[in-house]
Structure 1
Amino acid sequence: MVAARDILTVALPKGTLYGPSVKLLGCAGLATGFLENPGRQLLLYSEKDAVRFIICRPTDIPTYVEYGAADIGLAGKDTIVEQNKDVYELLDLKYGGCRFVVAVPEGKEQPLQYWNQTRVATKFPRIAEEFFRQQGMQMEIIKLHGNIELAPIVGLAEMIVDLVSTGRTLRENKLVPVADVLRSTSRLIANRVSHRLKNERINPLVERIRQVVEEGGLEK
């Protein structure tokens, strides 16, 4: 019987990142077949590996890891930066790629500094504020929770900072990127205490995952 302190708890993201995350862990040697169709189960256990899996919203994973409810987790760089949780970033997993951009209405393309001291709407105020601070710009950040493309159309803000993958939503709303803010991919993160106390469990897994990523395992 495995002692509770020896069980490794892994936080997996629901949604589009779930499949690639499960595949990656399987390629790294963990038993993951039972994870492929978990149904409504949010907590699953592998006796073979003494690993407990918790399935949660991607934006909650840094919180689970920071507080030690999960020893390690797989989360987007965008979530890690925006939430600024006290976690240890172990690896860039190279999948789930997307980027943050500054976008303005079509026909209003100007150099970025032209927009200094204006309003910007975003779901990611920390990322936006840090970006404009690095540019030496003082902006009024307006946090929204959805449909931020509407903000420039109705005059709520002059520009937006948003996460894009294909850019289709921007084009449909006649918005044009004028600057890249941040490129994001999935990352492996760890609780700082767990990383120290469970290093004999975590470090070998990290190295196997690193090898899979370097060999392009998810693309095979």
Structure 2
Amino acid sequence: MRYLTFALAKGRLAQKAMAMLEEIGITCEEMKDEKTRKLIFVNEELKLKFFLSKASDVPTYVEYGAADIGIVGKDTILEEGRNLFEVLDLGFGKCRMCVCGPESARKYLEHNELIRVASKYPNIAKDYFYNKKLQTVEIIKLNGSVELAPIVGLSEVIVDIVETGTTLKENGLQILEEVCPLSARMVVNQVSLKMEQERIQAIISGLKELKKQKEGK
């Protein structure tokens, strides 16, 4: 039997994913050692391998078959636009992708004016403005605190992830439009899904059942 390999987005997402997998009997003791320098963790008994990677790389590992299964946020899946199957919404890590800015910027959105949009997610921003709103905008990619952009006059609005909205309020910004809801998702390599259908399907069913129980509480 070959190993099934999981790629998990580092940090909170990986911890929550492992906790969920553990509830359906998929465990990896090695990963619990916080001091470890290991990159790949193995469960010999279940023939499973796990590795942690930067969120934006998870879809790449899955598309190219270096991982059979990936767990990553919907924002990353949309931004990376890789060729893979999204099989399950895991229901945690919920937030929203929104267009934000000062109240004064609302009129530019309503009148489809040519404006500048700053974002860490240029592909999501482009898809939203060009394909959904049919509004021509100039998109500026930033890597750091995008909230700064409208404050210093770099852009009229930003497209960013909003969890609580506290950072926006503190900087005099607000949600002007919602782009899409986000949460952690499970993605699968297309070939793996055919070759390992039974094993992967069993994992998906187990997680679905668990999610149903949690939501039913």
C-alpha contact (below 8 Å) 1:75/1:186 kept by paired residues? yes
Distance 2:106 2:4 in 1: 50
Deviations 1:148-181 (A, max 9, x none): 1111112111111111111121112111111101
Q: Distance in 2 between matches of 1:37 and 1:172?
A: 38
- TM-score (normalizing by structure 1): 0.91
Query: Which piece of structure 1 moves more, 90-99 or 148-157?
Result: 148-157
1:118 aligns with 115
CA 115–146 in structure 1, closer or farther in 2 if over 3 Å, else same = farther
Verify: 1:74 aligned to 2:106, yes or no. Answer: no
- The one-letter code matched in structure 1 to 2:64 is Y
Deviation at 1:35, TM superposition (A): 2.4
Q: CA offsets, 1:20-76, max 9 Å, x none?
A: 101111112112343233433221000121101111112211111011110001011
* Distance in 1 (alpha carbons) for counterparts of 2:134 and 2:112: 12
SS across alignment from 2:6: strand
Please state whether the residue corresponding to 1:216 is helix, strand or coil. Answer: helix
The answer to whether 1:34 aligns with 2:30 is: yes
d(CA) in 2 for partners of 1:11, 1:183 = 23
Q: 1:176 to 1:115 in 2, by over 3 A?
A: farther
Of 188, 191, 201, the residue aligned with 1:190 is 188
Within 5 Å, give how 1:121-140 maps onto structure 2: 121-133=118-130, 134-140=132-138
SS of match in other structure, 1:29: coil
Report the counterpart of residue 56 of structure 1 in structure 2: 53
Task: Select which of 96, 105, 120 maps to 1:99.
Answer: 96
Which residue, 4, 14, 20 being the options, matches 1:18?
14
Q: In the alignment, does 2:186 pair up with 1:211?
A: no
State the distance in 2 between where 1:146 and 1:52 align. 33
User: Partners of 2:186 and 2:26 in 1: how far apart?
Assistant: 15
Q: Which one-letter code corresponds to 2:8 in the other structure?
A: L
State the distance in 2 between where 1:141 and 1:16 align: 29
The TM-score, its normalising length taken from structure 2, stands at 0.92
* Contact 2:30/2:42, CA 8 A, preserved across alignment: no
Where structure 1 has 5 or more consecutive residues not aligned to the other structure, the ranges are none
> How many residues get paired?
215
Distance in 1 separating the partners of 2:77 and 2:176:
24
Rounded Cα–Cα distance in structure 1 between residues aligned with 2:198 and 2:175: 45
Separation of aligned partners in 2, 1:180 and 1:147: 19
Identity across aligned pairs (percent)? Answer: 40
Residues 31 and 48, structure 1, Cα contact 8 Å, conserved in 2: no
Q: Deviations over 1:83-104 (max 9, x none)?
A: 1000111111100111111111
Distance 1:26 1:116 in 2: 50
Task: Please name the residue that 2:42 is paired with.
Answer: 45
Quote the Cα distance in structure 1 between the aligned partners of 2:200 and 2:145: 39
Aligned equivalents of 1:202, 1:20: Cα separation in 2: 19
* Gap runs ≥5 in structure 2: none
1:115 Cα deviation after fit: 5.0
Indicate if the aligned counterparts of 1:76 and 1:96 stay in contact, CA closer than 8 A: yes
Maintained 8 Å contact 1:25/1:32: no
